[in-house]
Amino acid sequence: MTNMQDRVRRSGSPYRRQVVAYALAGLTTASLMSTTVYAQSVDLSQWSPEYIKSIAGTATYDTAKDCGAVVPNDYAGKVSYWYTGPFEADPQIAHDQDKAFWEAFKAAYPNIQADVQSITYNELLDKFRTALLGNAAPMVVRLQILGGVEFAAKGYLNPLKPEDVGYTSADFWPGALKSVTWDGETYGIPTNNETMGFIWNAKIFADAGLDPESPPATWDDVVTYSKTIHDKLGIAGYGLVAKQNAGNTPFRFMPQLWAYGGGALDETSAEPAYETVELNNDGSKAALQAAYDMYVRDQSVPTSALTNTQAENQAPFIAGQLAMMIAHPAEYAKMLDLASKATGADKATADAVVENMRYGLLPEGPARRAVVFGGSNIHVVKPEYVDGGAIDEQAVKALICMWTSPEWSTKLAWVGSNPGHLGGFKTEWMKERLDTIKFLDVTTSMLPNGIPFPVQPYAPEIMNIIVPDMLQNALTGTMTVDEAANDAAAKVEELMSGM
Amino acid sequence: MSGVSGSAIFTDRPVEPARRSSLLSRMWKQRADYLYVLPAIVVMLIVIAYPVYYTIELSFFKTPASLQLRDKVFVGLDNYTTILTSASFWKVTWQTLIWTFFSTLFAFFLGLGAALSLHREFIGRGVLRAILLIPWVVSTVAASYVWKWLYHSDFGAIGAFMVQIGVTDQPINFVDNTSTALASLIVVNVWKEFSFAMIMLMAGLQTVPEQLLRAAKVDGANAWQRFWHVTFPHLAGVSTVTVLLLTVQNFNSFIIPFIMTGGGPAGSSDIWITQIYQLAFGRQRWGAAAAYSVLLFIIMMTLGYFYVRALTRGDDKRAGA
């Protein structure tokens, strides 16, 4: 990052100011050159629900003091920040943690003025794009994992890596860091990361003659289970989602595609180059065929799948009309909320569904078990695109250090995600989450299976437009499975040609 | 025209050239009037002319996903060529024409029927008029969500009702079927728009002279003949305006298809505006979206020309008189 403007204005002789400036610069340089504030001690090779529980609550942190070593706590300045904070529909604890963060930031850095805007998930990208065109962007922005690379590729972001704010890259998931790396440079720091789990209704399984305590082991099993449930009970088996231009669709279909050995590009390989299109390989076609079999051949999934997002699956699930779906860790809390609002006979049904909810790992395929590696990253905008034409580097660093710390990356991801900083898994707050949020350990244990979407500026178009189009073309019979896969691959090829 | 050539025929005097002052000199003579409207003109130039100019300019560029908008690549008419030669353009254009034609047709005739029914005195006319106005005053966004749930392919109220009364065994697949999605959206659009046509035509019906209708009745004309030979000719003007306004509105429709199907499934309910939105905001092909918008703009201006002509036809006649 480049410090473009020092906003500190204090009285005193030039000599005194110079001394203070050199001292601050020295402290900052020392903090950046020194070893990390936190040494990583999370063993990713042991990752499992048991391991996650065993490390929770084993470490304590003093965030204000630790970040004070990066940016002195008496630093005076200003930072502007856009992010998606808690909104009305979010549980109270999300609001409380958000409020607590800003109070903690104010306490740690009383002289830094924070100009903060919370913008809804669906609006943030468009608003940020518009602000960049008008050179009116904030200094710092937190974006969904798929969003950052577009702006890095276009030259809107300053390089930013964990070492800039006192951490090491080893403190974060490798997949998460990959999602902020463009052309060999790191352009952000992960704030939170999550993977989804597989939810099923144990009672429906039992009624259909399936083992109520075991989820389908493979994606082929999902197809079979879905048909069995539909044929025996007349309800939808699997909650397929295939709406166009909706993020829910790739988050639910890509795990299946990857499991069968497919891919959009080569994102499943250890060192993806993102140069080969795999949407029409045998694995991708097998996954598309499985979706086709459920929707067209067996009619065992909701007919409304073509216009459904995940939100539309919640109502039939809580009503006991849908047996299985891929969902966030927060889905359990959502179901509890829906059950609490139900009345009369619906209330009894909803309570029974909550009682019978089970979480498991996503099914495996012939190639692997896979899930989308989701989350958000925090970025710093280049000064020329910022409102006012400058950024206050020290204030920016202070905010990012606090936000991505083990403490706050855990607390701010309380309900729906996990800490971006791996040290967060060792905190007492992670232990509290595991104790109070049912099934969190299961979804969290999927993290090592997480595959990030291709880190390319055109990834949003592939995932949100081309992949759902491919599904719709096949499921509506507009094209055969082969034609739909080949058509999608051709569109990606055209996209990659740059024009 | 000054009638100069007519004068030359009926007089021996040499023809004097018409003394028409130039546009600039006429503007100068009326400078005070122009000063009064100058602020409005400036505002219109900023909020209308500049965006139109910028859209036209942008339509000659491509905007790859890895480049900033300011680094756009000039491609001349390439965007237009690509659009006009793509199969999807003609599919979407055909769907737009179907959407516009049938929405306008049914909304107009339903509105006409409602207006004729409400033109007569009967008990409860005011209440019925208020009820029929509801679709028009309800928020389009809210109505779209309500209809989306009414149509829902698994749990929709319409489907459940059909099953209950024994019309079908399973809920009807309205919007998740490529064959029925567009027609289902047209039904919603007609429901939303017919009230507008009704209001316009009710106003038109006030202009039909009552004595003409009574005279026709005395002369033995039946109800259809009175409508066709007396009422309808009086509604011609307002009908033209109504149809033009509905056509423009339907060409520009966005909310209902966007919310209810997003143009799907498999593009079967995509119309021009949803396609433009998808190109611009879904795929960030700003240049292609701009080219699409320019084509739509040309159509809208053509319709606008006829609309203004229809509105000012009486003025021309009066001016001529």
| Mean per-residue pLDDT over chain B, rounded | 87
Answer yes or no: do B176 and A133 touch at CB < 8 A: no
Two structure tokens written together for B183: 């027609």
Nearest-CA distance A401 → chain B (Å): 29
* CATH entry 3.40.190.10 includes domain A197-371+458-496: yes
Can you give the pLDDT at residue A147? 84
* Token pair belonging to A283: 């694995």
- The encoded tokens of residue B303 equal 């319709």
Q: Among A82-86, A119-123, B93-97, whose mean pLDDT is lowest?
A: A119-123
The residue of chain B with its CA nearest to that of A302 is B154
- Identify the band that residue B314 occupies on the pLDDT scale cut at 50, 70 and 90: low
Provide the domain count of chain B. 1
- The mean per-residue pLDDT over the stretch B184-192 comes to 97
Please tell me the predicted confidence (pLDDT) of residue A338. Answer: 84
- Whether B265 contacts B178, CB under 8 Å: yes
Mean pLDDT of B12-31: 72
Whether residue A332 contacts residue A357, with contact meaning beta carbons closer than 8 Å, is answered with yes
- Beta strands at A374-381 and A322-327: parallel, antiparallel or unpaired: unpaired
What amino acid is encoded at B178 in this protein? Answer: T
CATH code of B98's domain: 1.10.3720.10
Residue B282 to residue A464, Cβ atoms within 8 A: yes
In this complex, do A246 and B176 lie within 8 Å of one another by their Cβ atoms?
A: no
Q: Can you tell me the distance from the alpha carbon of A392 to that of A377, in angstroms, rounded to the nearest whole number? A: 20
pLDDT of residue A437: 84
Q: Distance between CA atoms of A241 and A222, rounded to whole angstroms? A: 14
Cα nearest neighbour of A153 on chain B = B66
A12: left (phi over 0), alpha (psi -120 to 50) or beta: left
* Tens digits of residue pLDDT in A442-456: 888 888 889 989 988
- CATH code of the region A14-194+374-451: 3.40.190.10
Pairing type for strands A77-83 and A112-118 reads parallel
On whether any CB of chain B is under 8 Å from the CB of A316, the answer is yes
Residue A369, SS3?
Answer: strand
> A498 — contact with chain B (CB < 8 Å)?
yes
Yes or no: say if A221 and A205 are a contact pair by the CB < 8 Å rule: no
- Residue B305 neighbours by CB under 8 Å, 6+ apart: none
Crossing angle of helices B87-119/B125-137, nearest 10°?
160
Q: Read off the pLDDT band of B10 (50, 70, 90).
A: very low
**Alpha-carbon distance B179 to B205, whole Å?**
39
Q: Which residue of A has its CA nearest to B260?
A: A307
Q: What is the pLDDT of residues A76-106, one digit of tens each?
A: 999 999 999 988 767 788 899 999 999 999 9
Put simply, the answer to whether B152 touches A304 (Cβ < 8 Å) is yes
Of the listed ranges A19-23, A208-212, B307-311, the least confidently predicted one is: A19-23
Mean pLDDT across A414-430: 92
A contact test, residue of B176, B259, B278, B281 with most A CBs within 10 A: B176
Domain with CATH 3.40.190.10 in chain A: 14-194+374-451, 197-371+458-496
Phi/psi of residue A484, nearest 5 degrees: -65, -45
At residue A165, the pLDDT reads 96
Q: Give 3-state DSSP helix, strand, coil % of chain A, rounded to 5.
A: 50, 15, 35
**CA dihedral (A364, A365, A366, A369) positive or negative:** negative
Neighboring chain B residues of A154 at a CB cutoff of 8 Å: 66-68
Buried b (16+ CB within 10 A) or exposed e, B43-71: eeeeeeeeeeeebeebbbbbbbbbbbeee
Asked, for residue B88, whether it belongs to a domain, the answer is: yes
Q: Return d(Cα B69, Cα B79) in angstroms, integer.
A: 16
Helix axes B140-151, B181-205, angle to 10 degrees: 130
B69, B283, B284: best to mutate for the A interface, most A CBs within 10 A: B283
**Average per-residue pLDDT in chain A?**
87
**How close A129 gets to chain B, by Cα (Å)?**
10
Question: What pLDDT is stored for residue B14 in this prediction?
Answer: 56
Q: What is the pLDDT of residue B318?
A: 53
Least confident segment among A160-174, A329-343, B9-23, B307-321: B9-23
Q: Which domain holds residue B235?
A: 78-314
The neighbour count for residue B252, using CB atoms within 10 Å, is 14
Residue B44 lies in a domain: no
% of chain A beyond a pLDDT of 90 = 62
Is the separation of the CB atoms in A185 and A260 below 8 Å? no
Looking at A7-16, A82-91, A392-401, which range is the least confident one? A7-16
pLDDT at B138 over 50: yes
pLDDT at B109 over 90: yes
Size of interface A-B (CB pairs under 8 A): 89
Q: List Cβ neighbours of B107 (8 Å cut-off, separation of 6 or more).
A: B189, B190, B193, B194, B196, B197, B246
Helix, strand or coil, per DSSP, at residue A159: coil
Is A150 near chain B, with CB under 8 Å?
A: yes
Q: CB–CB of B262 and A304 under 8 A? A: no
* pLDDT above 70 for B55: yes
For the ranges A36-40, A381-385, B67-71, B303-307, which has the lowest average pLDDT?
A36-40
Q: Hey, what's the torsion of the CAs at A383, A389, A393, A395, to 10 degrees?
A: -130
The Cα A223–Cα A301 span in angstroms is: 10
Side by side, the strands of the sheet bearing A357-360 are A236-238, A322-327, A197-201, A357-360
Residue B66 pLDDT? 76
How many CB atoms are located within 10 Å of the residue A482 CB? 13
C-beta atoms of A307 and B65 within 8 A: no
Of B246, B254, B242, the residue nearest B293 (C-alpha): B254
**Would you call A306 and B264 a contact, using CB atoms and an 8 Å cutoff?**
yes
Interface of B to A at Cβ within 8 Å reads: 62, 64-69, 73, 148, 152-155, 171, 173, 175-178, 260-268, 278, 281-284
At position A299, the amino acid (one-letter code) is Q
Highest mean pLDDT among A335-339, A344-348, A434-438, B94-98: B94-98
What is the distance between the alpha carbons of residues B224 and B227, in angstroms, rounded to a whole number? Answer: 5
Interface contact A303-B178, CB threshold 8 A = no
Residue B291 lies in a domain: yes
Alpha-carbon distance B160 to nearest alpha carbon in chain A (angstroms): 14
State the ipTM, two decimals: 0.77
Phi, psi of A9 (to 5 degrees): -130, 105
CB A3 within 8 A of CB A382: no
Identity at B219, one-letter amino acid code: D
Confirm if A420 and A409 have CB atoms less than 8 A apart.
yes
pLDDT in tens, A198-226: 999 999 999 999 999 999 999 999 999 99
Q: Return the higher-pLDDT residue of B178 and A44.
A: B178
Question: Which of A316, A457, A473 has its CB closest to that of B266?
Answer: A473
User: Average pLDDT for residues A169-194, to the nearest whole number?
Assistant: 92
